[in-house]
Chain A
């Protein structure tokens, strides 16, 4: 049945070369942990992607209950965590995944750094990777405010003060982030929500696409 559906589509759209391009390629021996166990260090990039997928999915589901408004944000988080079936699991996935993605990304960076895999011709991919790192930090920073509890509020106040200490444009940067010259409040929460849920994920998907296209084009770096 599934085969027939596949054939029906393939006959019209010739999709086999497309998915072959994406999925059908050999893993070189030196990056395959089945051959050399130490090759597990090559898994961190893929694990970062895996956790990122979990983050995107769990985040999508969290927005079914979450409200980015200062009167209701905390209540909605409390409700989805304590009243909704598996709420504590879904929020837990997003909460712990946020830290895990940083850990995995850091290990991936260390591997690339210590193997010298960033060297010519892969410099551009390193640059894109660093941009992904900044986007991830931005996602962590903006996501931290959303539960709207004391820890979130004061962490964001400190973070915005750090942004405000930027030379020359510090004050403008602060107002742009907070949405108000003095108050970390209603407009800050909606801004951070928009940045967390739309702007940064869009940037992240674009950058990750570039990251993966480059690694497929250039191939993985050779054995040490």
Chain B
């Protein structure tokens, strides 16, 4: 078999899952492959009784994962919210892999997602030849999950048009999917549930209706807690992306990344790193993912138009673009930041100059 570009979670971590099943003595909810405690161990990592070490899949707050698992155990649907780059999809995939042993029952939400992809579609050749029949139905991942008692995943729920989203209401509250054409229905088997993810900063794309919203427990995945953690994430991603794009540039100095991440964190948090000065937060997200792209574009600039070493002026353009999303309010925020914070820092002179030049 040719090497896969990317394996599913349950393939990649098959060994860990098998070991967990072996040692897990606790009570499992119906149709769960693991007990809630073992699921938590799978996601957060730990050492099993038999000495086997489970690698952590999610680095961050234990609390968040516990709420997510407890939600799925209460048969309420789970909505993972977070800005880009907070591992929503990653957590959802691993939860499905650990609980149902199957992370493939997936609906990718887009503006073009239709009702059929959530409920069921038809095999039109059969439909025309035999009329509506069980055989002519093409089940959606949700329908499959209901029949098998597994977890279905909906990615980017808020990108799906509102009327299509609402198809989920009956499924989540009545746990049944009517098929009026056949005058029948699919009733969910125990173990069925839905994990949805959404970006909480693009509110207003297709806001959830309050009826649907009430059927979800919502867990917000936080941004990285510390500067070092975030710098580390950015560095790893930039290095791997740099390799993939084969940029002829030196890997960026850790100090440069640290500066970018510091600016992002300070503006995002509305306070300087030392906690002394309050700042106005800009309207944009300033997610870790954006920090990664700022460093990347700076690297590309340095590679193609500079001497291959990323400097302040290579980053400045990307930085300003990331911060200033609203041309009026954010410009004030950014200027204030430059004048009251960046200007005061001795080793930031080059960056201050570079950004100032762009402003004028």
Partners in one complex: no
